């Protein structure tokens, strides 16, 4: 059964350039009716970061978390979450929305779940650079732990690829899945530690342990450990093992579902 995963990864690798072109086309199409066009794809995250900086950096909250200003803790959590949110929401319908074009052009459908991730990655880089700029304003200096950013980004991509492969297929197979998935994902924002410091809340220890095992929390924690707290991204080995076990299971299961049903996708629309 691993052959399905190898096949999907091979198809993505061989047609990655096509996925990049599709991402560029989708970005241009999304902003085609605006005067500034696709420039909005980059202005939007700048405004997003600027708003948080004004409200939390200069305004209503000046607290600290583990010695770092709350604004920095928040920004470094918001940046990967913004990427996760965009990749997931568009990933749900990635096959459904591009099925006609992929069928006509004979490109493998396995590249469809990757396209929204490529679309969002440009904005992710801009938001990350801006957030690092804000960190410099607060006197944060680079450390060796920043090199772990490569791992943090790789782990985020691997998890989202598995998630998108699985959910994009289920969206076609189960009519109500998209609505249910969006509802659950809205809840995930509040239980992923994006804006709430679980260690500062009077929650039962068991609940905190479970929340910190959640993959979205671990994705965000990897960035904070690397950029803010000078920690190893493997500071909780059990959570890391759980994360990669779940990620590999989703890549495996998503690949199997995708390969098994993609011949029937047109009949399911």
DSSP 183-196: HHHHHHTTTTTSS-
Q: Give per-residue pLDDT as tens, 161-177.
A: 999 999 999 998 888 99
Letter string b/e over residues 191-226, b meaning 16 or more CB atoms within 10 A of that residue's CB: ebbbeeeeeeeeeeeeeeeebbebbbbbbbbbbbbb
Q: How many domains does the chain have?
A: 1
Say what the alpha-carbon torsion angle 21, 26, 32, 36 is, to the nearest 10 degrees. Answer: -70
171-202 pLDDT tens trace: 988 889 999 999 989 889 888 988 888 887 67
In this prediction the pTM is 0.90
In this structure, is residue 137 part of a structural domain? yes
Q: Which domain holds residue 79?
A: 1-264
Residue 34 lies inside a defined structural domain of this protein:
yes
Tell me what the mean pLDDT of segment 79-89 comes to.
Answer: 93
Residue 70 has pLDDT above 80, yes or no: yes
Contact 7, 252 (CB under 8 A): no
- What pLDDT shows up at residue 236? 94
In sequence order, what are the residues at sequence separation of 6 or more whose Cβ sits closer than 8 angstroms to the Cβ of residue 88?
A: 160, 163, 164, 167, 185
Residue 269 lies in a domain: no
């Amino acid at each position: 059964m691993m052959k399905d995963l190898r096949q999907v990864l091979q198809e993505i690798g061989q047609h990655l350039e096509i996925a990049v072109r599709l991402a560029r086309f989708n970005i241009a199409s999304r902003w085609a009716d605006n005067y500034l066009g696709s420039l909005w794809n980059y202005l939007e995250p700048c405004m997003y970061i600027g708003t948080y900086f004004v409200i939390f950096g200069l305004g209503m909250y000046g607290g600290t978390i583990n010695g770092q200003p709350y604004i920095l803790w928040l920004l470094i959590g918001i940046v990967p979450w913004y990427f996760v949110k965009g990749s997931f929401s568009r990933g749900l319908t990635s096959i459904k929305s591009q099925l006609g074009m992929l069928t006509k052009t004979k490109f493998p459908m396995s590249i469809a779940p990757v396209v929204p991730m490529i679309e969002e990655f440009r904005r992710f880089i801009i938001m990350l650079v801006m957030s690092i700029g804000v960190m410099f304003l607060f006197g944060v200096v680079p450390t060796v732990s920043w090199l772990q950013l490569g791992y943090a980004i790789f782990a985020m991509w691997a998890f989202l690829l598995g998630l998108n492969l699985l959910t994009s297929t289920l969206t076609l197979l189960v009519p109500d899945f998209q609505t249910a998935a969006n509802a659950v994902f809205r809840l995930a924002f509040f239980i992923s530690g994006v804006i709430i410091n679980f260690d500062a809340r009077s929650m039962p220890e068991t609940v905190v342990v479970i929340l910190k095992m959640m993959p979205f929390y671990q994705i965000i924690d990897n960035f904070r450990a690397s950029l803010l707290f000078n920690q190893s991204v493997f500071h909780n080995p059990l959570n890391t093992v759980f994360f990669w076990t779940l990620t590999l299971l989703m890549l495996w299961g998503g690949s199997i579902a995708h390969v098994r049903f993609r011949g029937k996708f047109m009949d399911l629309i």
